Amino acid sequence: MKWDQQRLQWYLRAGEKSDYPRVFLDRIKPFLQASDTLLDIGAGPGLFARELLPLVRKIYNLEPDPVSRSFLEQQYAHQEKMVVLEGSWPQNIPDLEVDVTISAFSGAGVMAREDSLRLICRLTRRHIFLIAPAGPKDFGAGLEKPSSPLPYEQTESLLQQLGLQFHRELISFDFGQPVADLEEATRFLSRQLKIPPQMARNHADRIARREGDELYLPNPRHSALLRIDFS
């Protein structure tokens, strides 16, 4: 994902209001130890790191986009436990070994390549958590058609080829977007779905619900959490 300040603020607001990332964090936290080091591949603006930082010894955040990486650096400038790595996977990985690796919606370059999965396994001592789509993610507009195979199925197939045992959980959750009014809803949906403003306005009229002083655009999602355990 290419970030800018508008997209960053929308994403952070969605992370505060919706089920994401808490629905996945609730499943990850029981496996963490206070002495752990953790690698987040494609960390974005750090929704996972923000919640997990108090629970582990150190987090390495790999984020290729300069806007979200700058946000991470500013937010955690005085946190020695939080390390922001510049660059993309797998070219810019330093010589490190971690206890836990997380990769959430990082795309085929991370989760659908054999060499990438081998490297993740080599870097990780205890647990790997991979999160990939298991259905459309288009705010109910019906514009996105599920690929065949689905992204998580591509990852599963590679893990099986590598002879790796894994646990899979299919999870339904909402990753909706709070907005101030219908004008903002129109801007958001037009950009997110790549549709004309009038079409976006019509769709916002159909799906938006009033929550206090703002509107909320629900976005039912279906994803797979794949967990690999080494001990």
Q: Residues 159-178: pLDDT tens digits?
A: 999 999 999 999 999 999 99
Percent above pLDDT 70 for the chain:
99
Domain assignment of residue 90, yes or no: yes
**Dihedral angle sign, alpha carbons of residues 215, 223, 102, 127:** positive
> At 16, is the pLDDT very low, low, confident or very high (cuts 50, 70, 90)?
very high
Domain assignment of residue 134, yes or no: yes
Domain assignment of residue 209, yes or no: no
Amino acid 230: pLDDT: 95
Percent above pLDDT 90 for the chain:
84
Domain assignment of residue 14, yes or no: yes
Look up tokens 């990985």; give the residue.
93
How far, in Å, are 28, 92, 229 from residue 153 at the CA level?
A: 21, 27, 19
Domain assignment of residue 115, yes or no: yes
Backbone angles phi, psi at 50, to 5 degrees: -55, -40
Amino acid 100: pLDDT: 98
Residue 32 pLDDT > 90, yes or no? Answer: yes
Residue 91 pLDDT > 90, yes or no? Answer: no
Domain assignment of residue 199, yes or no: no
Domain with 73, as residue range(s), is 5-176+219-229
Indicate the number of domains in the chain.
1
> At 79, is the pLDDT very low, low, confident or very high (cuts 50, 70, 90)?
confident
Dmax over CA atoms of the chain, in Å, equals 54
Using DSSP's 3-state secondary structure scheme, residue 64 falls into coil
> At 222, is the pLDDT very low, low, confident or very high (cuts 50, 70, 90)?
very high
How far, in Å, are 49, 94, 117, 124, 140 from residue 85 at the CA level?
A: 13, 9, 19, 17, 35
Domain assignment of residue 140, yes or no: yes
Contact by Cβ (8 Å): 141, 177: no
Contact by Cβ (8 Å): 66, 59: no
pTM to 2 decimal places: 0.95
Domain assignment of residue 195, yes or no: no
Contact by Cβ (8 Å): 135, 221: yes
Return the CATH number at 27. Answer: 3.40.50.150
How far, in Å, are 129, 145, 179, 188 from residue 226 at the CA level?
A: 6, 22, 32, 30
Q: How many CB atoms lie within 10 A of CB 205?
A: 11
Amino acid 186: pLDDT: 98
Cα 194 off chain centre by: 21
